[in-house]
Amino acid sequence: MRRSTTLLTIIMLLSSLYLVALHLPHTAVAQIEVSSSNTQPSVKEFTIIVSSMGFNGSAELRIEVNQGDTVRITFLYGDHGMKMGNPHIIEIEKFGVKVELSGEEEKKVVELTINQPGAFSIRCILRCRGHENLQNGVLVVRETETSIESLRLTILADESQPGIYLLTAKAMTEDGQPVQGILVEFLDYTPLGYVSIGAIPTNIDGIAALEYKPPKIGPRQILAVFGGSGRFKPANATLTITSTIASPPRLPIDLSETSVRGENLWPDPRLVGVQAGANTVLVVLATSVVVTAWMIVLWTVRSILRLRREGMPRG
């Protein structure tokens, strides 16, 4: 019986420790890296002689440009020595280019502004002599980094109803133009760290808004955060509001999505890089339930074993 009791005690302790470990606070740090470049688009010119020997006399052709460059390509017919002629149709399919070259049409100029990075085929699509030498041309467009702009983010609060605030964040460029389609995260500061209220994309006027009912009375520090993008640097703005009416208390068991409206008491450190601990009340409550359950099981087993050892009383 002692061995059984010891084994059950060990199992109970290990289970309790595992449950507590699952709810220990974790540190989440959001790191955002941005880079900028002053690379300016340019005009790049190339001359390609097309013949049965290939592009410029080679079966391989490689043109390298940067995204945003204007590319001017001059195609020249190079099969003048063939008595019957050897026409070609050169295609750059992704850009809708088809250039016909022959003894009568010896020169064609194509100008493209290329905004799409990647590798694009240049080839002859006509069954000509030396056709196999005109299949391996490629236009390589390197992706370039654009200058990163600064974004101005402001936040306002309007008490539309008693205890309910309409939080409004506005995103604008440095010259005052609204920015549409960026995601703005609203957060409330609590003793556990920043708590996510919701994330809303800006509309055509650069405005993201949601309603919020603070869970407690008193001053609240509201933070609006934009995490940055390929065009704009990260930005944030803070605002202090004073709540005189508290929302009814509730346990944060339902972990709703970021875009919810209303209060969300579960810590959400994704954008601000702060420590967030699990709710202490839930941890204590869950641990107590597990310990109590194991104590009941242990008491029951010991009672059964004692009865078997002593024998059941006879009537």
Q: Which residues pair with 290 in a beta bridge?
A: none
CA pair distance 21, 223, nearest whole angstrom: 31
CATH of the domain at 270: 2.60.40.1940
The highest-confidence range among 23-32, 47-56, 170-179, by mean pLDDT, is 47-56
pLDDT band at 34 (very low <50, low <70, confident <90, very high): very low
Residue at 66: amino acid letter: N
Are 134 and 170 contained in the same domain?
no
Are 162 and 266 contained in the same domain?
yes
161-179 mean pLDDT: 89
Are 287 and 258 contained in the same domain?
no
Q: Which residues pair with 218 in a beta bridge?
A: 243
211-233 mean pLDDT: 86
Check whether 28 has a pLDDT greater than 50.
no
- Tokens representing 181 are 């389609």
Q: What is the pTM of this model?
A: 0.38
Say if 47 falls within a structural domain.
yes
Edge-to-edge order in the sheet of strand 70-77 = 54-55, 43-51, 70-77, 107-113
Say if 124 falls within a structural domain.
yes
Give the count of domains, the chain: 3
pLDDT band at 5 (very low <50, low <70, confident <90, very high): low
- Report which DSSP code applies to 248: P
Are 219 and 282 contained in the same domain?
no
CA pair distance 212, 62, nearest whole angstrom: 58
Q: Which residues pair with 87 in a beta bridge?
A: none
Check whether 222 has a pLDDT greater than 50.
yes
pLDDT band at 16 (very low <50, low <70, confident <90, very high): low
Say if 64 falls within a structural domain.
yes
- Report which DSSP code applies to 163: T
163-191 mean pLDDT: 90
Which pLDDT score is estimated for 100?
94
Of residues 4 and 234, more confidence is placed in 234
pLDDT, tens digit, 9 for 90 and up, residues 241-282: 887 776 665 544 443 443 333 334 444 444 443 333 444 556
Are 267 and 164 contained in the same domain?
yes
Say if 201 falls within a structural domain.
yes
- How far CA 101 is from CA of 52, 124, 131, 135, 202, in Å, comes to 12, 10, 14, 16, 51
Dmax (CA) for the chain in angstroms is 126
CA pair distance 22, 270, nearest whole angstrom: 19
User: What range does the domain containing 222 cover?
Assistant: 148-276
C-alpha closest to that of 58 among 139, 134, 138? 134
Are 86 and 171 contained in the same domain?
no
DSSP track, 200-224: EE--TTSEEEEEE--SSSEEEEEEE
Check whether 57 has a pLDDT greater than 70.
yes
- How far CA 195 is from CA of 97, 228, 264, 276, 279, in Å, comes to 54, 20, 7, 9, 12
pLDDT, tens digit, 9 for 90 and up, residues 58-105: 999 999 988 888 899 999 999 988 888 899 999 998 888 999 999 899
- Tokens representing 84 are 């019957």
Which of 43-47, 144-148, 261-265, 292-296 bottoms out in mean pLDDT, i.e. has the lowest?
261-265
pLDDT, tens digit, 9 for 90 and up, residues 188-199: 988 888 889 999
Are 65 and 130 contained in the same domain?
yes
Within 10 angstroms of residue 268's Cβ, the number of other Cβ atoms is: 21
Sign of CA dihedral 125, 126, 130, 131: positive
Are 271 and 180 contained in the same domain?
yes
CA 106 to chain CA centroid, nearest Å: 50
Say if 34 falls within a structural domain.
no
Are 171 and 261 contained in the same domain?
yes
